[in-house]
Amino acid sequence: MDSATLSARLLAWYARRRRDLPWRRDVNPYRVWISEVMLQQTRVEAVRPFYERWLARFPDVAALAVAEEEEVLRYWAGLGYYRRARMLHAAARRVVAAGGELPRSRAGWRELPGVGEYTSAAIASIAFGEAVPVVDGNVKRLAARFLALELAADDRALHRKAEEWAGQLVVAAPAPGDLNQALMELGATVCTPRAADCEHCPLVGACASTGGDPLARPLPTRRPRWREVRLEHRLARRDGRVLLVQCRESGWTPGLWEPPRLAVGEDRSGLIPLGTVRHVISRHRIEATAFLDPGWDGSGGVDPERVPLSGLGRKLLGLLDRA
């Protein structure tokens, strides 16, 4: 089956089955940009509320550029991969400093911090109709199954094959942005990692995995080993304020806030064990024990509503509320 036919099938399926998502209403380059960055390695359902709040507070690139980083991070807190927010903010400031016009081409977008190979192609195709393929996890999975490629998800060879395959489809499509979104939508809803609903797939028959075992591809990747980490934190509260410190630039969640860690060997006399929380960051499994410091003099106190809390910080403060 030729690319034009496949593209037409995908577009027809997409027109019928596309989900109603906030960033698919009132499409403009800024909104597409925000949605694409939020969606990096993040599920649609997780993004939805963050996107709505963000757009209400930062409706355009100018509003984002003039905001303080602390507030930007507060609107991102809970979404994860916080570097995305800081790069988004830096990019907005750069755009505004250069006159306020957002780029109109893939190459222009690619120069902005936080906008890589995938995101530049997504924005250029969706917001400007540029016929460039997107290669995300969905497209790679679809390509592996459609072309019956015995390659692992993290294999660069699969990335190249997927780009080539999607490239043929997107140049054959009258609406490149919709074609790209159709591929990703298909991967997210019909041809998922753990299920393949071939009955409802517009590519059934043309796909090399039809009647076979689509779930066998792409091949499994090797996982990095978990690292167990034990931490101890000092918690204190006084007059509605709590003891918080800002995470270092070199840490897991730079710029975010959490209760300070107890150094190894630090004096624990006078501290009361509050409990333990578990938290996962990247490949680290953290077990954090909280100690209440009833003698805190209030110095360094922060209103927890006013700063972006790390996930671990949020869990630790939860122990404080129950104490």
Give the residue numbers annotated as catalytic, written as ranges: 36
- The residue range among 64-72, 170-178, 250-258, 288-296 that interacts with DNA, by the rule CB under 7 A, is 250-258
CA distance 190 to 184: 10
Residue reference for tokens 């929380």? 277
Out of 8, 118, 238, 302, the only residue in the binding site for DNA (CB under 7 A) is 118
- Paired sense of beta strands 245-246 and 257-258, if any: antiparallel
Helix (H, G, I), strand (E, B) or coil at 279: strand
For residue 55, state whether it binds DNA (rule: CB under 7 A): no
In eight-state DSSP terms, residue 310 is: P
Helix (H, G, I), strand (E, B) or coil at 7: helix
Query: CA distances (Å), 204 to each of 113, 191, 208, 215, in order?
Result: 39, 11, 9, 14
Residue 38, token pair as written in the block: 């939020």
What is the nearest approach in angstroms of DNA to the Cβ of residue 159? 10
For residue 293, state whether it binds DNA (rule: CB under 7 A): no
Q: Residue 264: which region, alpha, beta or left (left: phi > 0; alpha: psi -120 to 50)?
A: beta
Out of 25, 41, 263, 267, the only residue in the binding site for DNA (CB under 7 A) is 41
Nearer to DNA, 62 or 87 (CB): 87
Nearer to DNA, 19 or 295 (CB): 19
- The residue range among 63-71, 130-138, 201-209, 231-239 that interacts with DNA, by the rule CB under 7 A, is 130-138
Count of residues interacting with DNA (CB under 7 A) = 60
**Residues in 64-93 at the binding interface with DNA, rule: CB under 7 A:** 77-83, 87
* Helix or strand run (H / E) with residue 191: strand 191-192
What is the nearest approach in angstroms of DNA to the Cβ of residue 211? 22
Nearer to DNA, 93 or 238 (CB): 93
Query: CA distances (Å), 171 to each of 20, 94, 132, 232, in order?
Result: 25, 32, 7, 55
**Residues in 160-179 at the binding interface with DNA, rule: CB under 7 A:** none
For residue 224, state whether it binds DNA (rule: CB under 7 A): yes
Residue in 151, 162, 187 with CA at minimum distance from that of residue 44: 187
For residue 211, state whether it binds DNA (rule: CB under 7 A): no
- Using CB under 7 A, list all residues that contact DNA: 21, 35-36, 39-46, 77-83, 87, 113-120, 122, 136-138, 141, 153, 156, 181, 184-185, 187-188, 192-195, 220-221, 223-224, 251-254, 279-284, 310-312
